[in-house]
Amino acid sequence: MNPLAQELNSQLKGTVADRFLSPMGRRLYFPKGIIAQSAEAKKSAGKANATIGTAYSKGNPMILSAIRESLPALTVEQIVAYAPTAGVEQLRKDWQTQILKKNPSLAQEKISLPVVTQGLTNGIAIIADLFVEEGTVMIASEPCWDNYTLAFEERREGTLKAVPFLGKGGSGLNLEAIREAVREEAKKGQVRVILNFPNNPAGYSPTISEAEALKKIFLEAAEGGADVLVICDDAYFGLFYEDNIFNESIFSLLADLHERIFAVKIDGPIKEHFTWGLRVGFVTFGSRGLNAAHYNALATKLMGAIRSSISCVNTPAQYMVIKALADERTPGEKARYQELMKKRYVQIKDFIAKNPNHPALTPYAFNSGYFMSFECKGLSAEALRVKLLSGYGIGVISLGDKCLRVAFSSLEEEQISMVYKTIYDCAAEMAGKS
């Protein structure tokens, strides 16, 4: 094993993070090679810097006119220079400020400085690199975002333990099923779970009382002697449409709860700031058992995962996010867009209330996010998807054979009644109960 990896492992020795590291996680380190030496030279090479593979002329990176003209608000450096492996320092600090502002239960000294990733998917993948290996069990919602299967099972050879996080008939979280799954894994000494709120595909976030119940479930496992890793996939954070929703991340309840609880927050501006194609995400750690030195060691291992896969995150995208976060127009624009989303949500809720007891479709509980989904009974969700697409020109998503997801984020208000009526009529016809 590389001595740099051994050094990081020694810094983490005895911590909950150390106990969760996969063999790959133990091997990861950030080399003191080209990137590290270039960073040193950038600070100290006052006469000449011949370290980094960037072409300069007259003190600036060379740039094509077509590229320069397409991003007039950024400097040449901000457009084409390489970003630091962990991300632009200002963006990391700005995003930590955002996390603390949106999660007042958190204290800055209790969490790590976020590391920038190439979108949330990259964040999930490198966290899987660090903490998942062949045979590792990861508790996840059923249904869940299909990319979890690729990230945890296909890439890392772990096993997703599918648990019905949502109760029957739109009744909110199935806390008993979650509790039972956690207790079962706790008997083995370690619990790994990924939480995705607002949920994709169901569009559900915990109520205040449900969030407190989740905290107690994980605390019970930790107090019983099990190590608990909770990954919070907060892709759709903040898009809440009901007053009783817990409006912080579950991460805020866990980051300083117990020495055996290790919380990881994966988030970013992609959905909540409407910047999908910029592909900027963040990974943040929190645990009562970790200090600044531990967080630095974990960030360094993340840098090794980033360096060995994507090298660094898109530079102009990072500076665009910095500008968006600082722009005085952003809060008002976000509020306006979220209000548009809420109007669509209310319209869908109204349609469902006026058309109860469908013979083939039961909506999963939903109160937030971009989506809502139906559980299909007596027909295949995939067959319904194909029929809607080929027969009516309406695109929706099937996840497995039972779940049909509708992204109301991409529907105009005037389309909603038509789309949902068509879905209801088509499903009833296919089930033979029209």
**CATH domain 331-430 topology:** Aspartate Aminotransferase, domain 1 (3.90.1150)
Phi, psi of 82 (to 5 degrees): -70, 140
Is residue 163 within 8 Å of residue 139, measured between CB atoms? yes
- Could you tell me the two tokens for 308? 């060995």
pLDDT-derived band at 42 (thresholds 50, 70, 90) equals: confident
Residue 46 clears pLDDT 70, i.e. is over it: no
Residue 343: pLDDT over 80: yes
CA separation for the pair 193, 178 (Å, rounded): 10
In tens, the pLDDT along 101-146 reads: 999 999 888 999 999 999 999 999 999 999 999 999 999 999 999 9
* Residue 168: per-residue pLDDT: 78
What CATH number matches the domain at 3-30+85-326, 3.40.50.970, 3.40.640.10, 3.30.360.10, 3.30.499.10? Answer: 3.40.640.10
pLDDT tens, position by position, 148-180: 999 999 999 999 999 999 987 778 999 999 999
For the CA atoms of 39, 40, 44, 48, the dihedral, rounded to the nearest 10 degrees, stands at -70
Whether 3-30+85-326 shares its CATH topology with 331-430 is answered no
For strands 190-196 and 115-117, give the pairing: unpaired
CA torsion, ordered 72, 75, 77, 83, to nearest 10 deg: -80
For residue 49, the model assigns a pLDDT of 67
Q: What is the pTM of this model?
A: 0.94
- pLDDT for 41 beyond 80: no
* pLDDT on residue 48: 64
Among residues 354, 400, 394, the alpha carbon closest in space to that of 376 is found at 400
The set of residues, in sequence order, having a beta carbon less than 8 Å from that of 340 and lying 6+ positions away, is: 413
pLDDT at 434: 54
pLDDT in tens, 226-279: 999 999 999 999 999 999 999 999 999 999 999 999 999 999 999 999 999 999
What residue segments make up the domains of the chain, in order of their start? 3-30+85-326, 331-430
* pLDDT class of 412 with cuts at 50, 70, 90: very high
Phi (first) and psi of residue 266, to 5 degrees: -115, 115
